Amino acid sequence: MPTLTERRAEILALAVSEYIRTAEPVSSKHLADRSELGVSPATVRNEFALLENNGLLMHPYTSGGRVPTELGYRTYVEQLMLEEPVIDTERITVEHQLHQVAASLEEWLPLTTSILASWVGNVAVVLHRPIASQKLLQTQLVDLNGESVLMVCVLDDGTVRKRTLSIMSPLDQVALNYHASWLNELLAGSDAAKILELAQGITDPLRVEFVRHVATLMREHGPESSGFIDGLEVALQQPEFNDQESMLEAMGYLSLHRLGNVINGVMGKSTSTSTRIVIGPGNRSNNKNGWSIVASSFEMPAEAGVIAVVGPTRMAYAHVLPRVRYLANLISSFNQVGPSRSVED
């Protein structure tokens, strides 16, 4: 990504934020007048030109303001964005709503989807799948080149799963045999859910990594995801869909089946809780309007899945990201009596 001066970075952040807020191209005069930059419109205009040369802004019209490019959005999200944290009143409201329904995923997950959609004003999707019940018989670790390791897991139904791992520090085959013996002693006879529980009591980062990869292998190729979707009507009221062609294209894209495939592809069916943002072409099913996905995985003893927000590239990432992450953590806390209280973001 281009290296930015402090002022140029500030101007880019302000331009992206303003375009997200208004959906209107941002002019140099507007930005100079509304911000505390302390510079003239001419100075902002010069910085706009340099940002445009770097591929971060573009001119949609000959004599209009600038709008972010996909690279501009990525730079903003990865380097400049200040998240809008979930505040206590929001937490209290969400957790109160969830405690009003029965303590079952069948009622809890669709309500979570609805809460997220109304919270962020975009399409919300929750996907979940049961964790496969096979048990581990044996794990082997094979040195490939000093930096990569082949993990082989044999399950009790005869299934053999393999994965190449990049490890944090080089290990020779003797050390790998030692770790494999430790894994087999700890994990043999356990299913994926039990293995994830055991991982919580391990302090060594390398061993935690190995244990989580075992769980990942055991859960891959398991039952297909099912899920819930909400927020279509609200999302389609955004300016990006103000003509019939764009709306019809969006309605074709925003189906649960299609989004499920896209989101699972984005997350790679990861077992560890992780959050990803995909903007524009990084989403291979992108349409002409451009789509972004903010997704976070969750895991419970018997279920795993992803909670995501899908919307145009002009998404309020600073608002969306912490709320997706918060709800993923909340889902991960689900147990037989419902979500636990006071989940940290």
Complete DSSP assignment for 215-226: HHHHHTT-SPPE
| Residue 177 burial class via C-beta count within 10 angstroms: exposed 0-12, middle 13-18, buried 19 and up | middle
- Cα separation of 307 and 320, whole Å? 12
State the pLDDT at residue 128. Answer: 87
Percentage of residues of the chain with pLDDT beyond 90: 50
- Cα separation of 33 and 41, whole Å? 8
4-18 pLDDT per residue, tens: 999 999 999 999 999
- Cα separation of 272 and 205, whole Å? 14
- Cα separation of 216 and 345, whole Å? 24
- Cα separation of 30 and 199, whole Å? 53
Structure tokens at 36: 């505390």
State the pLDDT at residue 281. Answer: 55
State the pLDDT at residue 337. Answer: 44
Domains and CATH numbers, the chain: 6-80 (1.10.10.10), 88-131+226-332 (3.30.450.40), 136-219 (3.30.390.60)
**In the chain, which residues have pLDDT < 50?**
269-271, 282-288, 336-337, 341-345
CB 228 within 8 A of CB 125: yes
H or E stretch covering 264: helix 256-267
State the pLDDT at residue 216. Answer: 84
* Residue indicated by tokens 């993923």: 328
State the pLDDT at residue 59. Answer: 87
State the pLDDT at residue 294. Answer: 96
User: SS3 of 101, please?
Assistant: coil
